[in-house]
Amino acid sequence: MTISIQRSHNDEAQTYNVELENVTLLTVLNHIKTSLDPTLTYSHGCRSGVCGSCAVQVNGREQLMCEYKPSDGDEVEPIRNARVIRDLVVDSSMVERCNRAGMGWSESSKADHVSAEKMERIETQSDCILCVSCYSACPVYAANPDFIGPFALTRVWRYVNDPRESDIESKMATVQTNGIWDCTLCGACVPVCPQSIAPMQDIKMLRMKSGMLGYPDPTMNFGGSFDLGGWDF
Amino acid sequence: MSKVLIIGSGGAGLVSALSAHEAGAEVIVASKTLPTRSQTSMAQGGMNAVLGADDSVADHIADTLKSSAGLGDEKRIAFMCEKAPEAIRWCNSIGLPFSRDDSGEIARRRLGGASAPRACYAQDYTGLKLLHTLYDQCLKAGIEFKNDRFLLNLITDQEANRVLGATFLVIETGEVEEIRADAVIMATGGYGNLYGKHSTNSVQATGDGLAAAVRAGARLADMEFIQFHPTALKGSSILISESARGAGGYLLSASKERFTDELAPRDVVARAIHDEIVASGAVYLDIRHLGEEFINHELPQERKLAQIYEGIDPVHELIPIKPSAHYSMGGIEVDVNCMSSVNGLFAVGECANHKTHGANRLGGNSLLELVVFGRECGRNASEYGERYPAPAVENPQYAKDTNFIRGVMYFTNQIDFYQKQEMLANIFYNNVGLVRDDMGLKAVLGAIRQMQKELPFMGPRDKSKVCNTNLVEFIEFGNKIELAEIIVVSAISRVESRGAHYRIDAPARNDQMFGAHTITWKEDGVLCADFLL
């Protein structure tokens, strides 16, 4: 099997020929690093899809290397929207930056007892492994590098929607800027999530919550000039 | 205000960071990965605590003591079990999304060796959700993270036996960095990755913190005790949770016969599987009769991983399994305040030996331990630093380590360390695994000493300064070799069988000779070992 991997030292794709079948991409890279080319650089950890270290792009789509089975001719590149440090390793500071910007944490909590049904409301969102595949797939970053973005907004919704949370005001105020209204609802973040989370859906939920709390919807533009195509009469 | 340096950012590191911060310290967390990528994310089962009237703290203490096979400290076990309900409530109060029972109380399940269902859980993602919740709280508290810092050495004042800070390789730049602090907390996790592909652990679990601690003069305790999980996937050692057997899964021999009680304690089941593999060549886990719906709901991770790594679907096929190295009971010896034998050096979590697990850890007690002792450790380190600020004295460690990083690039590379690493993993699994004997252990010791001599003839082949993971892996290998010697010397010295340490040439427990902790340390680079109460 031949796979090509984008290298940073010469900014070119390097081709490797490996005789491994029916293994994960991570197994292939481990084989290359320990037997063929020790300079090939990538991140990995748990091997089982839960630590979020090994997201890359394969043929232009985000994949976890430990869950993806490569086939002949695959092209592997680092994830997008992030500074490449070396080969497939990128600067991961967006994890801290975006989660801080969105205030993705519990402010204060009440009530020990909560029904199973209510708790399940945040089950999917709290499955997030911060692999940042959604961040890589998001087209908004081309226009707004300060966008709080899909994984952090999912995290905000996870706390806003937590039945135990007693203070959601500050979070809802925070996500008004560079947050829920900057999303184009294109949905690119949804299919790439290895945990089947749908950040776009969570952003929609935050928008609804925002409306309920009386925040204006800037995408509606009522009261301002009609600048939406087709309504300009 | 005291300055506390925390090395490692898994559950233990983050709990102590929050606790030290709360106690008023300036906190820095330095770690070789991003916090959410640490091994805590892999913990599935749960966190033990007695919450209801159907269970009692006395039973939790008794179960833990029994499992520890005479090496658990009753007072510290009692402390941990008594603090458990409060620890769970604290986790709940910061937002950990526990699963719930019908009454809305935190749901609990029974794990092996427990007399009641007392492992509080969040689906099969307890560790993941704990870790992320803690990380979120650390961001809220404004705790400073220095990620991609690979620990090289502790900085110590040897005269005063006092820690002053630590040195790190900044992975991205290749420079050495010195961080000074009034107190240092080691929270770097276990050493399961010594077993390589025969371990369920993350590739990060290379025991860097223990190796640095022993080089700095700290004492280690009970290093020969390594828990093997009975059911890991045969090819990859990826964990198949205990709940698969808890729910009624069978263990089958090569001829598809049941051969053991699936619900006996971990060490017993693991040895039975080992013996059966030796006898008949293979062992399988059979969960087909549990049905697709149950498997999808209760064991979704397992189904997915068996499909990816073994190419089989557990709904219709048998899962080939083997026991794999899973948890390091041994660690840096700490006192009731979580302080090591080096003044100002604290340790917590899997890298520490709090003497709560003894010779065999009970499922659900590791997450509990890191929360309970993490909270103690952070506060104690903060208070220690307040009372005894570290003197700002010159120290040669930074210069030494800078020279090492420069010099290691000139190692001759006649021998491939990746091959040696794989060999180490294989001989450890075969001879320092579930069943051990004197001859086999001594053969491994000889091989380790040879590898130690050969280290200068190995080295990183990648000469890049920027983000050189080949260099990092080589230094990790050096740490593993350092710990491997200690583990094997401890295992040779303990001529008895107890908990996870089973000697086929001495199958009985011998309290008179060995009812004590295996304490190891280094004097002028020479390894010393003794049995001490």
Q: 3-state class of B90 per DSSP?
A: helix
List the single residue in B with minimal CA-CA distance to A22: B311
**If you average pLDDT over residues B259-267, what whole number do you get?**
87
What pLDDT shows up at residue B301?
Answer: 85
Whether the per-residue pLDDT at A228 is higher than 70: the answer is no
pLDDT on residue B41: 96
Q: CB within 8 A of B36, min separation 6: which ones? A: A51, A52, A95, A129, A130, B131, B132, B135
Q: Looking at B107-225, which runs of residues are DSSP E strands?
A: 108-109, 119-120, 144-146, 149-157, 162-170, 176-180, 183-186, 220-221
CATH for A2-82 is 3.10.20.30
| Predicted pLDDT at A221 | 63
C-alpha separations of B391 from B6, B25, B53, B156, B339 in Å? 19, 17, 51, 11, 19
Give the separation between CA A117 and CA A121, rounded to whole angstroms.
7
Q: Residue B296 sits in which domain range? A: 230-325
Q: Considering only the beta carbons, identify the residue of A35, A92, A129 that sits closest to B128.
A: A129
Percent of chain B with pLDDT strictly greater than 90 = 92
Decide if pLDDT at B119 tops 50.
yes
Q: Does A51 touch chain B (CB under 8 A)?
A: yes
Token pair for residue B158?
Answer: 């040897």
- Give the model confidence (pLDDT) of B38-58 as tens digits: 999 999 889 999 999 999 999
With CB atoms and an 8 Å threshold, state whether B97 touches A122.
Answer: yes
Q: Is residue B348 part of a domain?
A: no
Percentage above 90 pLDDT, chain A: 90
Cα separation of B330 and B493, whole Å? 15
Contact with chain B for residue A44, Cβ under 8 A: yes
Picking from B21, B36, B326 by the largest number of A CB atoms within 10 A of its own CB, the best residue to mutate is B36
Residue of A23, A34, A50, A93 best to disrupt the B interface, most CBs of B under 10 A: A50
Q: In angstroms, how far is CA A104 from the centroid of its own chain?
A: 14
Nearest to B97 among A34, A92, A119 (CB): A119
- Residues A38, B470 contacting (CB under 8 angstroms): yes
∠ CA(A66), CA(A67), CA(A71), 5° rounding? 100
B516 within a domain of the structure (yes/no):
no
**Domain end residue (candidates: B265, B291, B325):** B325
Judge whether residue B233 has pLDDT over 90.
yes
Residue B263, pLDDT score: 81
- Per DSSP, which regions of A32-102 are E strands? 55-58, 61-64, 75-77, 84-86, 89-90
| Mean pLDDT value across residues A41-59 | 97
pLDDT score, position A233: 47
Q: Cβ of A84 under 8 Å from any chain B Cβ?
A: no
Chain A contacts of B105, Cβ < 8 Å?
112-113
Q: What HEC string does B380-440 produce?
A: HHHHHHHHCCCCCCCCCHHHHHHHHHHHHCCCCCCCCHHHHHHHHHHHHHHHCCCCECHHH
Average pLDDT, chain A: 94
> ∠ at Cα B397 (B394, B398), nearest 5°?
85
**Shortest CA distance from A109: residue in chain B:** B93
Does residue B378 have a pLDDT over 60?
yes
A50·B308 Cβ contact <8 A? no
The residue out of B264, B299, B325 marking a domain boundary is B325
Residues 6+ apart with CB under 8 A from B274: B323, B433, B434, B435
Chain segment B162-214, per-residue pLDDT in tens: 999 999 999 999 999 999 999 999 999 999 999 999 999 999 999 999 999 99
Query: Can you say whether the dihedral through the CA atoms of A30, A32, A33, A36 is positive or negative?
Result: positive
Among B38, B305, B418, whose Cβ lies nearest the Cβ of A48?
B305
User: What residues in B contact A33, CB-CB < 8 Å?
Assistant: 469-470
Residues 6+ apart with CB under 8 A from B90: B371, B375
Average pLDDT over residues A10-24: 96
CATH number assigned to the domain comprising residue B309: 3.90.700.10
Q: Residue B420: its chain A contacts at CB < 8 A?
A: none
Q: What angle do CA B1, B7, B11 make, to 5 degrees?
A: 100
In the prediction, which pLDDT does B241 show?
Answer: 86
Spell out the long-range contacts of A207-210 with Cβ–Cβ below 8 A and sequence spacing 24 or more.
Answer: A207/A180, A207/A181, A209/A160, A209/A168, A209/A172, A210/A172, A210/A175, A210/A176, A210/A180
CA dihedral A22, A25, A30, A35 (to 10 degrees): 60
Is B27's pLDDT higher than 90? yes
Q: How many domains does chain B have?
A: 2
User: Using one digit for the tens of pLDDT, what is the confidence trace for A127-144?
Assistant: 999 999 999 999 999 999
Residue indicated by tokens 């080096």: B342
DSSP letter (8 states) at residue B106: B
CA-nearest residue of chain A to B124? A127
Out of B37, B103, B145, whose CB is closest to A51?
B37
Residues A151 and A126 sit within 8 Å (Cβ to Cβ) = no
pLDDT for the residue B246: 78
pLDDT in tens, B301-332: 889 989 999 999 999 999 999 999 999 999 99
Chain A residue with the nearest C-alpha to that of B240? A48
Q: What is the ipTM of this complex?
A: 0.95
> Structural domain boundaries of chain A?
2-82, 93-212
- Indicate if the pLDDT at residue A111 is higher than 80: no
In-domain check, residue B481: yes
Distance CA B223, CA B520 (A): 8
Q: Which residues of B touch A49 (CB under 8 A)?
A: 301, 304-305
Q: What mean pLDDT do residues B20-32 have?
A: 98
Q: Which residues of A are less than 8 Å from B97 in CB distance? A: 119, 122-123, 126, 162
Place of tokens 């397992």: B302
Please list the active-site residues of B. 229, 245
Q: Is A10 on the interface with B (CB under 8 A)?
A: no
Provide the pLDDT for residue A215. 95
Q: Are residues B320 and B415 in the same domain?
A: no
Residue B303 in any domain: the answer is yes
Residue A231 has pLDDT above 50, yes or no: no
Distance CA A217, CA A219 (A): 5
pLDDT tens by residue, B148-169: 999 999 999 999 999 999 999 9
Distance from CA of B94 to the nearest CA of A (A): 6
With CA atoms as reference, report the closest residue to B169 among B438, B386, B473.
B473
Residue B196 located in a structural domain = no
pLDDT digits (tens, 9 = 90+) for B476-524: 999 999 999 999 999 999 999 999 999 999 999 999 999 999 999 999 9
Q: In the predicted model, is pLDDT for residue B299 greater than 60?
A: yes
Evaluate whether residue B478 is within a structural domain. yes
Which CATH topology does A93-212 take? Fumarate Reductase Iron-sulfur Protein; Chain B, domain 2 (1.10.1060)
What is the longest distance spanned by two Cα atoms in chain B?
68
- pLDDT of A105 over the 60 cut: yes
Chain B residues with CB-CB distance to A156 below 8 A: none
- Under the banding of pLDDT at 50, 70 and 90, the label for residue B298 is confident
Spell A85-101 as b/e; 16+ CB within 10 A means b. Answer: bbbbbbebebbbebbbb
> Could you give the angle at the alpha carbon of B191 between the alpha carbons of B373 and B47, nearest 5°?
40
Q: Which residues contact B419 (CB under 8 A, 6 or more apart)?
A: none
Q: Is residue B476 part of a domain?
A: yes
Asked whether residue B521 is domain-assigned, the answer is no
Find the mean pLDDT for residues B409-429: 97
Question: In whole angstroms, what separates CA B154 from the centre of its chain?
Answer: 20
CB B207 within 8 A of CB B483: yes
Last residue of a domain, which of B325, B349, B377?
A: B325
Shortest CA distance from A34: residue in chain B: B418
Based on the fold, state whether residues B312 and B409 are members of the same structural domain.
Answer: no
Chain A hits for B147, Cβ within 8 Å: 92
